[in-house]
Amino acid sequence: MILSTITSSITPFILPREAHAATATATAIPPPITTPTTPPFTKLTIPITQVPPSLSKCSIRYLSLSPSNLDVLLISTSNTALTTALSTAVTVPVGSTAAPEGRDGLAHFCEHMLFMGTDKYPEEDGFNKFLAKRGGSSNAFTESESTTYYFNQQLDDNKLFPGGGDSYEGLDRFLDFFSTPKFSLGSVSREVNAVDSEHSKNLQSDVFRIYELEKRRAAKEHPYSRFWTGDKTTLLPNGGDEKGRMELKDDLGGFFDGYYRKAGGNVVVISPRGVDEMEKEVERIIKDFKGTYIREPSKGEISTLPERVVPFSGDKGKSEIPGFGYVVKTVPVQDLRQITLVFPIVYSSGEERDGIRRYRPVEYLGALVGHEGGGSVLSYLKGLGWANGVGASTNAELEDFETFEVVVDLTEEGLKQYRSVIGVVMGYISLLKSQPWPAYILDEALTMSELGWSLFEVSDPMSFASTISQNMEKYKFDKTLAIAGGLRLATDGAGGEIREVMDDGNREMVRRSVEGVMGRINMDNCLVTVISKEFEREAKEKERVYGTKYAVEKLGDIKPLGMGEMTFPEKNIFIPTREGMRLKNQQKGQEKDRTKAPRPPMKVRDDEKYEVWFKGDDRFGKPKAIGIFSLLTNNAYGGDNPDKNAAVASLYELAVSEYLNEYCYPARLAGLSYDLAVLPRGVRLTVGGYNEKVPVLAKTVCECLKSCSFLPSEKAFEGFKDQVVRAAKAFDNKQPYGLASYYATAVGEPRRFKRLNAGIRKELEKVTLKDLEDYSKTIWKEGRMKALVQGNVLQKEAEDLVELVGGTLDFAVGDVPEEYYPLVFPKEGIKVGLKTPNPNNSNDAVEVIVQSRDTSERGRAAAEVVAAIANEPFYDDLRTQQQLGYIVSSGVRANGETRGLVFVVQSGTKGSEELSKAVNEFIGNFGRKELEGLTDDDVKEYAKGVLTKKLEPDKRLIYEVNRNWAEISSGKLVFDRTQREGREMESMGRADVLKWWEDAISEGGTVEVRVRSKGGGGGGGAKEIGVDGIDAYRENREKESKK
């Protein structure tokens, strides 16, 4: 897996932190260990004092095991309702910088291969099969200096490690990856194709393309300059014959022995079982490890830097693409206009690196440079008409340096003035250097950090385990930070007495750390990149991996600008007070009996104008509240031209957001937010966060909506239109499997509820400012409001909040749109074909949905069980065995009250016809090959895994609010839906899954969408329609459904 970030074309293009799988270094693979031994086993227990209140009832134990250099952190949730699953993560301090010259991507390839069987568990897909029956999942990602693996599985009511039972086996299978990986020649041969397919998927991604350009500006001898992901050409440089594959297999084994076995690692286990039991069994597994782990005792304990060349310079000959003093103009895939300024912060010592990781100066600097309130860089640039957005943050983090990156999303005029835009950014940085920072800047940041810590919630235990395992490596210099990580300051830096976060000592250390970093933020230490399609003609060079076109020229002097027009942010009025944090409802905590549904919200008003629901929080114990206010009205998407209304609606949302941004940005920093969304049946406003300030924010937003004060000038309107048009055009650069999913979903929805991208884009070109003005004055004019207020509020406060919102908007009672009903697929099925709009994307994709017509609770439950049964064999067949592509997945998708099974595959080597054949062959054989051979006990095992996962308690207020709102907005009001379907799963057997599948195949109908990179567009066959035929098809289906 490659860790990446998806970035919208209308927001600043923040390149992803470690958006890659691999780097490499010029060092050779160390010789393999030839004499496995098992040294004496000792352990040291380390106290973890920095634990957030939400985990205070957990039993936590940190063990440092010698001589294996394995650190193990165990979290038992037996006294809480946090999780019913076992979640485990391992971070190995070996990343892509360890890959040898001539084998770029070998570390990433090793990550793939560890899942492919071990000596003890040799079956190639054995781990996936094991997890499939237990509602589990697994994944991994390779970063520059480390690799993280993680998995989870649902547990039954027995003990965690019942002497060879499921739980022991799951953990044993997983940890055996790092003891005796099999690395069979067959697996090596096949998995090379998976890595190559993964790279093929990324070839048209601006995230990867632009990041690779940045890395090419590093010194050739530095591992940052290397190709991180790898592909067939780097993994098999001598060809893909048997000899070449054997060489790769041997090098892989040498890499594992030479690095993984010497590196040690960081293991995290989270489970609802006792910590003593967990410790005993983890030790038992680790004691059986084969091989010698001889990581140098000083590694990670004494702060040292790797011996590497200086990563960046202004010497043109030291890197493939010149670094400091030059500007690189590059041509993107999407219609982007952006500047990126990358400032490398090269550590002077290991101690400095550790101090920067502890005190996080770049976060404070980024918060100021990327601020969006009055007096900010963004506010000033918007006033000049030069920018739409600014972002600033840490990007790359290696052991010898990290980068501070500023990204500016430009207008057309801003692109012409890009040198002046850089000057404004540097002007603000000069201001930060030359003027004393107001005391409240740091105080507010520390206050919100401490507030976030005190109210920290674990929303996903598996992700939490992954984060902790990474923290254990990153903060080796202070193991008390294993859980806290970057959430708070912990000690005085010497592993000694713990300080209060807000004390003067910590303030002083943060101030010094910020000053140390600020000295390196200057144009002599800056990599400048300007991104625009307008550079197509002058960009004569091509980056060698992704083929990105670029041009290089001298940057020249940049003078700081605008210092007198910009200032520090004002005090944040939205930071909650101590009184505002008081809990107002009696807390019962999470229900231990997971078969019992949480208390539902109650209807407190129901008349011609309002339907209001309320629920006071009694489970989460956080001073937060969420209000959802949905006005059902025909003024949203109704009328004779819904495509036009959808186009105007997108401009409406953006205009409101831009107008309110300077006011609402401090609210976001203080944990408050709002969301405005125009939907097919109306318009919805959501306001949430720390409950004390929710009414203040709600009133301001509603006053803006009512007064239409957000309506822009003609010039500003054209800028908004430019952003929305570019975002709509970015649709063409979606991955082919994303396009397939979009159209497969569209054919199941009535036209008025799902407007297609092509129609909206056509209307966007014609929309005028008057259209926006007319739309804005009518959308809140009339209708009926549905509302839900839930959280740390009393009923009277909830009712007052609804009155505040409704009274400020001042809408009249009006007709509401008709209810939503999904389209029923024809029994003979429907096929859609299209050519990918991006001619440079060579990937094909297919999505097939097998749709059921069963709307019963038992039918929906059966669909989830069948999906669990299908997941592993589909993946193993199409990805592992046939090697059709990196993207292979299946699952269940809701369509109203029915459920369908979804099968997706994307390939850079196989055409859509071949992919379609493979998917349909699997579907055709699935009943006979997989379902018919199951026993009742087999089905119950799958059902149990799905059920246990399904009944996991909500971890956060927002999750429960979303479930409740889904019932309220749909009018179904089945608040115990999860428990009802769960009860059906308890009695699920072989006959149930067979019947569901047979009925779905014979009666439900299928949808198939093929996206081709070559050949004709839509209508590639007698039974296939093109994209332009979808609306006509939907109209016919609506008519059929009314007969």
Structure tokens at 682: 């109306």
Question: How many whole angstroms separate alpha carbon 120 and alpha carbon 182?
Answer: 9
Q: What is the CA radius of gyration of the chain?
A: 29
Question: For residue 69, what pLDDT is reported?
Answer: 77
Q: Is the dihedral of CA 350, 356, 357, 362 positive or negative?
A: negative
Q: What is the DSSP letter of 438?
A: P
Q: Is the dihedral of CA 323, 327, 332, 337 positive or negative?
A: positive
**Whose structure tokens read 């990324």?**
202
What architecture is domain 579-813?
Answer: 2-Layer Sandwich (3.30)
- H/E element, 389: strand 387-397
- H/E element, 869: helix 857-875
Question: For residue 34, what pLDDT is reported?
Answer: 40
Q: Which among 1, 234, 277 is positioned nearest to 114, based on CA atoms?
A: 1
Q: Domain 830-1041's class?
A: alpha beta
**Whose structure tokens read 């098992």?**
38
Measure CA of the first residue to CA of the last residue in the chain; give whole Å: 49
- Over the range 869-881, which residues count as b (16 or more CB within 10 Å of their CB) and which as e? bbbbbbbbbbbbe
Assess contact for 835 and 761: CB atoms under 8 A.
no
Q: Which among 197, 205, 6 is positioned nearest to 915, based on CA atoms?
A: 197
Q: Which among 354, 357, 328 is positioned nearest to 341, based on CA atoms?
A: 328
Assess contact for 609 and 647: CB atoms under 8 A.
no
Question: For residue 955, what pLDDT is reported?
Answer: 87
Question: For residue 165, what pLDDT is reported?
Answer: 42
Question: How many whole angstroms separate alpha carbon 224 and alpha carbon 310?
Answer: 11
Q: If DSSP states are collapsed to H, E and C, what string results for 65-81?
A: EECCCEEEEEEECCCCC
Q: What is the DSSP letter of 1023?
A: T
Question: How many whole angstroms separate alpha carbon 613 and alpha carbon 610?
Answer: 10
pTM of structure = 0.90
Question: How many whole angstroms separate alpha carbon 755 and alpha carbon 761?
Answer: 10
Structure tokens at 645: 């209304």
- Angle at alpha carbon of residue 24, lines to 18 and 27, rounded to 5°: 145
- H/E element, 668: helix 642-669
**Whose structure tokens read 């089905």?**
939
Question: How many whole angstroms separate alpha carbon 494 and alpha carbon 911?
Answer: 60
Bridge pairing between strands 401-410 and 265-271: unpaired
Question: How many whole angstroms separate alpha carbon 11 and alpha carbon 338?
Answer: 10
Q: Selecting from 3.30.830.10, 3.30.300.130, 3.40.830.10, 3.90.1420.10, what CATH number does the domain 42-287 have?
A: 3.30.830.10
Extract the residue ranges of the chain whose pLDDT is less than 70.
Answer: 1-41, 67-68, 156-167, 288, 290-303, 486-502, 589-593, 1015-1023, 1042-1043
Domain boundaries, the chain: 42-287, 316-565, 579-813, 830-1041
Bridge pairing between strands 672-679 and 682-690: antiparallel
DSSP output for 217-277: TSBTTSGGGS-SS--HHHH-TT-SSHHHHHHHHHHHHHHIIIIIHHH-EEEEEEESS-HHH
3-state DSSP assignment of residue 613: strand
Structure tokens at 235: 């993994």
Structure tokens at 64: 């440092």
Question: For residue 751, what pLDDT is reported?
Answer: 87
Q: State CA 612 to chain mean position distance.
A: 33
Query: Exposed (0-12), middle (13-18) or buried (19+): which is 584, by Cβ within 10 Å?
Result: middle
Question: For residue 590, what pLDDT is reported?
Answer: 65
Q: 213 Cβ partners below 8 Å, 6+ apart?
A: 321, 328, 330, 529, 543, 548, 550
**Whose structure tokens read 């590059």?**
330
DSSP output for 337-369: EEEEEEEEEE-SSHHHHHHHHHH-HHHHHHHHH
Question: For residue 639, what pLDDT is reported?
Answer: 74
Structure tokens at 182: 């099999």
Question: For residue 240, what pLDDT is reported?
Answer: 83
Assess contact for 63 and 279: CB atoms under 8 A.
yes
Question: For residue 61, what pLDDT is reported?
Answer: 94
Q: State CA 870 to chain mean position distance.
A: 25
Same fold, 42-287 and 579-813: yes
Question: How many whole angstroms separate alpha carbon 776 and alpha carbon 809?
Answer: 12
- Encoded amino acid at 585, one letter: N
Q: What is the DSSP letter of 118?
A: B
Give 4-30 pLDDT, tens digit per residue.
222 222 222 223 333 333 333 333 454
- H/E element, 689: strand 682-690
Q: 277 Cβ partners below 8 Å, 6+ apart?
A: 159, 160, 161
Question: How many whole angstroms separate alpha carbon 158 and alpha carbon 645?
Answer: 57
- H/E element, 278: helix 275-287
Query: Exposed (0-12), middle (13-18) or buried (19+): which is 504, by Cβ within 10 Å?
Result: exposed
Question: How many whole angstroms separate alpha carbon 58 and alpha carbon 48?
Answer: 12
Q: Domain 316-565's class?
A: alpha beta
Question: How many whole angstroms separate alpha carbon 993 and alpha carbon 934?
Answer: 10
- Angle at alpha carbon of residue 206, lines to 201 and 207, rounded to 5°: 85
Q: Tell me phi and psi for residue 894, to 5 degrees.
A: -85, 145
Assess contact for 493 and 478: CB atoms under 8 A.
yes
Q: 284 Cβ partners below 8 Å, 6+ apart?
A: none
**Residues written for the chain:** 1043
10 Å Cβ neighbour count for 417? 18
What ranges in 370-503 are assigned the alpha helix state H?
377-384, 412-416, 418-434, 439-454, 461-474
Assess contact for 402 and 346: CB atoms under 8 A.
no
Give 482-531 pLDDT, tens digit per residue.
888 766 664 444 444 445 566 777 788 888 999 999 999 999 999 999 99
Assess contact for 883 and 193: CB atoms under 8 A.
yes
Q: 278 Cβ partners below 8 Å, 6+ apart?
A: 74, 76, 160, 161, 269, 271
Question: For residue 589, what pLDDT is reported?
Answer: 66
Q: State CA 670 to chain mean position distance.
A: 22
Question: How many whole angstroms separate alpha carbon 294 and alpha carbon 689?
Answer: 49
